[in-house]
Chain A
Amino acid sequence: MGTPASTASTVSLLRQRLDETAAALAQADLAGLVSGEAHVQAALAALARTWPISGDRAQLAAELEQLRTSVTRCQRLGASMNDFLRMSLDGIGGEPATHTFRHSA
Chain B
Amino acid sequence: MGLDVTGQNIANVNTPGYSRRVVDIAAVPPPTRQQAGGGAEVQGIRAQRDRLVERRLGLETSGAERYSTMAEELGMVESALGTGSGSLDTRLNEFFNSLSSLADRPTDAVARQNVLLQASSLANAYNGTASRLQQLGREMDQRVVATVADINGLTDRIARLNGVITSIPDPSASLHAIDEQRELVRQLSELTDVQVTWRSEGGVDVDSASGKALVIAGTAYQLTVPTGGVGGNHSVALQGTDVTASLTGGRLGGLLAVRDTTLPGYLQALDDQAFRLASAVNTAHAAGYDLDGNAGQALFTFSTAPQGSSGAASALQVNAAVAANSRLVAAAGAAAPGDNQNARALAALRDAPLMANGTATLVESWGQFVATAGRDIQGASQERDVRTEIVGQLQSLRDQVSGVSLDEEALNLTKYQRAYEANARMFQAVNDAIQVLFDTIGR
A40 pairs with B392, CB closer than 8 A: no
Give the docked Cα–Cα distance between A26 and B386 (Å): 9
User: Which chain B residue has the least Cβ–Cβ distance from A22?
Assistant: B389
B420 pairs with A85, CB closer than 8 A: yes
**Of A26, A37, A100, which contacts B419 at CB under 8 A?**
A37
User: Which chain A residue has the least Cβ–Cβ distance from B410?
Assistant: A94
B425 on the A face (CB < 8 A): yes
Listed in ascending order, the chain B residues whose CB lies under 8 Å from chain A are 50, 52-53, 56, 60, 382, 386, 389-390, 392-394, 396-398, 400-401, 406, 409-410, 413-417, 419-431, 433-434, 437-438, 440-441, 443
A94 pairs with B426, CB closer than 8 A: no
- Extra contacts, 4 of them, besides A27-B396, A28-B400, A67-B430 (Cβ < 8 A), are A7-B437, A88-B53, A88-B413, A92-B409
A21 pairs with B441, CB closer than 8 A: no
Nearest CB of B to A18, in Å: 7
A13 on the B face (CB < 8 A): no
Give the docked Cα–Cα distance between A40 and B415 (Å): 19
* Per-residue B-contact encoding for A73-89, CB less than 8 Å = 1, 0 else: 11111101111110111
B427 pairs with A75, CB closer than 8 A: yes
Given contacts A11-B437, A44-B433, A53-B441, is CB(A83)–CB(B56) below 8 Å? yes
Main SS at interface, chain A = helix
Give the docked Cα–Cα distance between A91 and B421 (Å): 20
Main SS at interface, chain B = helix
**Of A44, A69, A94, A100, which contacts B429 at CB under 8 A?**
A44
In the assembled complex, which residues on chain B have CB atoms less than 8 Å from the CB atom of A101?
Answer: 421, 424-425, 427-428
In the assembled complex, which residues on chain A have CB atoms less than 8 Å from the CB atom of B409?
Answer: 88, 92
Give the docked Cα–Cα distance between A69 and B430 (Å): 12
B430 pairs with A64, CB closer than 8 A: no
A85 pairs with B396, CB closer than 8 A: no
A37 pairs with B393, CB closer than 8 A: no
A68 on the B face (CB < 8 A): yes
A14 pairs with B417, CB closer than 8 A: no
A89 pairs with B413, CB closer than 8 A: yes
**Of A47, A57, A80, A87, which contacts B433 at CB under 8 A?**
A47
Given contacts A44-B433, A94-B413, is CB(A33)–CB(B53) below 8 Å? no
**Of A22, A30, A40, A68, which contacts B434 at CB under 8 A?**
A68
B426 pairs with A44, CB closer than 8 A: yes
Give the docked Cα–Cα distance between A28 and B433 (Å): 26
In the assembled complex, which residues on chain A have CB atoms less than 8 Å from the CB atom of B390?
Answer: 26, 76-77, 80
Nearest CB of A to B3, in Å: 25
In the assembled complex, which residues on chain B have CB atoms less than 8 Å from the CB atom of A26?
Answer: 389-390, 392-393
Give the docked Cα–Cα distance between A1 and B4 (Å): 65
In the assembled complex, which residues on chain B have CB atoms less than 8 Å from the CB atom of A82?
Answer: 420, 424
Give the docked Cα–Cα distance between A73 and B421 (Å): 16
A5 on the B face (CB < 8 A): no
B430 pairs with A14, CB closer than 8 A: yes
Given contacts A14-B430, A53-B441, is CB(A76)–CB(B386) below 8 Å? yes
Nearest CB of A to B192, in Å: 21
In residues 39-76 of chain A, which contact B (Cβ within 8 Å)? Answer: 40-41, 44, 47, 53, 57, 60-61, 64, 67-69, 71, 73-76
User: Which chain B residue has the least Cβ–Cβ distance from A74?
Assistant: B427
User: Which chain B residue has the least Cβ–Cβ distance from A100?
Assistant: B421
A3 on the B face (CB < 8 A): no
In the assembled complex, which residues on chain A have CB atoms less than 8 Å from the CB atom of B419?
Answer: 30, 33-34, 37
B426 pairs with A41, CB closer than 8 A: yes
A87 pairs with B397, CB closer than 8 A: no
23 sample A-B contacts, Cβ–Cβ < 8 Å, listed by A number: A14-B430, A14-B433, A21-B423, A25-B393, A26-B390, A27-B396, A28-B396, A28-B416, A30-B419, A33-B423, A44-B429, A57-B441, A71-B427, A73-B386, A74-B423, A81-B416, A87-B52, A88-B53, A91-B52, A92-B413, A98-B421, A101-B421, A101-B425
In the assembled complex, which residues on chain B have CB atoms less than 8 Å from the CB atom of A74?
Answer: 423, 427
Most buried by B among A28, A73, A83, A101: A28
In the assembled complex, which residues on chain A have CB atoms less than 8 Å from the CB atom of B440?
Answer: 53
**Of B53, B417, B431, which contacts A87 at CB under 8 A?**
B53
User: Which chain B residue has the least Cβ–Cβ distance from A89?
Assistant: B413
In the assembled complex, which residues on chain A have CB atoms less than 8 Å from the CB atom of B414?
Answer: 94-95
Give the docked Cα–Cα distance between A45 and B421 (Å): 19
Smallest CB-CB A-B distances: 8 pairs:
A101-B424, A28-B396, A33-B419, A26-B389, A40-B426, A37-B422, A28-B397, A80-B390
Given contacts A44-B429, A91-B52, A94-B410, is CB(A37)–CB(B443) below 8 Å? no
In the assembled complex, which residues on chain A have CB atoms less than 8 Å from the CB atom of B428?
Answer: 101
B430 pairs with A18, CB closer than 8 A: yes
Give the docked Cα–Cα distance between A87 and B59 (Å): 16
Nearest CB of B to A25, in Å: 6
Give the docked Cα–Cα distance between A7 and B441 (Å): 12
In the assembled complex, which residues on chain B have CB atoms less than 8 Å from the CB atom of A89?
Answer: 410, 413, 417
